[in-house]
Amino acid sequence: MDLSDTADEAAFRDDLRGWLAANLPADWGQRAPQAGRWDEDFSRTWSNKLFGAGYAGLTWPEAFGGGGKPPAYQAIYLEETARVGAPDHIGVIGLGMAGPTIIAHGTDKQKSQHLKAILSAEQIFCQGFSEPSSGSDLASLKTRAVRDGDHFVVNGQKVWSSYAHIADYCILLTRTDPDGENHRALTYFLLDMRTEGVTVRPLRQLTGDPEFNEIFLEDVRIPAECVVGQVGAGWRVAMTTLLHERGTLGFALTARLDVSLQNLMATARRTGADADPLTRDRIASLWIEMQGLRYTAYRSLAALARTGVPGPEASITKLRWSETNQRLTKLALELLGPDAQIDGEDGFWSGYWQYQQLRSRGNTIEAGTSEVLRSIVAERVLGLPRSR
More confident residue, 338 or 315: 338
Q: How many CB atoms lie within 10 A of CB 294?
A: 19
Q: How many CB atoms lie within 10 A of CB 206?
A: 12
What pLDDT score does 345 carry? Answer: 76
On the question of pLDDT at 282 being above 80, the answer is yes
What pLDDT score does 243 carry? Answer: 72
Phi/psi-derived region of residue 146, left when phi > 0, alpha when psi is between -120 and 50, beta in every other case: beta
pLDDT tens column, 249-261? 677 788 889 889 9
What pLDDT score does 31 carry? Answer: 84
C-alpha 131/C-alpha 135 separation (Å) is 6
204 Cβ contact list (under 8 Å, min separation 6): 210
Q: Which helix (H) or strand (E) holds 114?
A: helix 108-119
Mean pLDDT, the chain, rounded, equals 90
pLDDT tens column, 96-141? 899 999 999 999 999 999 999 999 999 999 999 999 988 667 888 9
Instruction: Specify the pTM.
Output: 0.88
pLDDT tens column, 7-27? 999 999 999 999 999 999 988
On the question of pLDDT at 269 being above 90, the answer is yes
Residue type, 381: V
Phi/psi-derived region of residue 121, left when phi > 0, alpha when psi is between -120 and 50, beta in every other case: left
Angle CA 312–314–320, to nearest 5:
125
Q: Are 15 and 75 in contact (CB under 8 A)?
A: no
What pLDDT score does 303 carry? Answer: 73
Q: Which CATH superfamily is domain 248-381 in?
A: Butyryl-CoA Dehydrogenase, subunit A, domain 3 (1.20.140.10)
pLDDT tens column, 333-387? 999 999 999 887 778 898 999 999 999 998 998 877 888 889 888 888 888 888 6
Burial of 179 (0-12, 13-18, 19+ CB in 10 A): exposed
Q: Are 256 and 367 in contact (CB under 8 A)?
A: no
pLDDT tens column, 63-91? 999 999 988 898 899 889 988 888 889 99
More confident residue, 83 or 331: 331
C-alpha 77/C-alpha 248 separation (Å) is 12
What pLDDT score does 309 carry? Answer: 66
Q: Are 217 and 156 in contact (CB under 8 A)?
A: yes
C-alpha 123/C-alpha 342 separation (Å) is 39
The beta strand positions in 36-135, using DSSP E, are: 125-128
Q: SS3 of 133, please?
A: coil
| Catalytic site includes residue 245 | yes
What pLDDT score does 294 carry? Answer: 87
pLDDT exceeding 70 applies to what percent of the chain?
95
Q: Where in the chain is the domain with CATH 1.20.140.10?
A: 248-381
Q: Where in the chain is the domain with CATH 2.40.110.10?
A: 125-230
Q: Which CATH superfamily is domain 125-230 in?
A: Butyryl-CoA Dehydrogenase, subunit A, domain 2 (2.40.110.10)
Burial of 204 (0-12, 13-18, 19+ CB in 10 A): exposed
Select which of 80, 211, 245, 313 is catalytic. Answer: 245
